[in-house]
Amino acid sequence: MPYILQFILVFLAMAIADVCWTYYFIKIDERKSLAAGFWGSAIYLCGAFGVLSYTQDKSLIVAAVLGSFLGTYVTVEHKKKEESKNKK
């Protein structure tokens, strides 16, 4: 697989994993066990792909870090906008 494609896939997998982490904690806080279980499984799936990729090529850690940051940032910003919209 071409390096750039692998980089993009690791970036996306880790971004999605961090979206999943954010919603996992939200669902735990809401005491929604089934939804939290779903998000927990998704974390594992995305994380496993990322870890397997960057253990084979250490330079892909950059993609993982960038993807993780973006996934968390975008999800938290989205939740803040959603919550402020619901307060109005």
3 state SS for the chain: CCHHHHHHHHHHHHHHHHHHHHHHHHHHHCCCHHHHHHHHHHHHHHHHHHHHHHHHCHHHHHHHHHHHHHHHHHHHHHHHHHHHHHHC
What integer pLDDT is reported at residue 54 of this predicted model? 87
Q: Give every residue of the chain whose pLDDT is below 50, as ranges.
A: none
Confidence at residue 35, expressed as pLDDT on a 0 to 100 scale: 96
Task: Say what the pLDDT of residue 85 is.
Answer: 86
pLDDT reported for residue 64? 94
Q: What is the pTM of this model?
A: 0.85
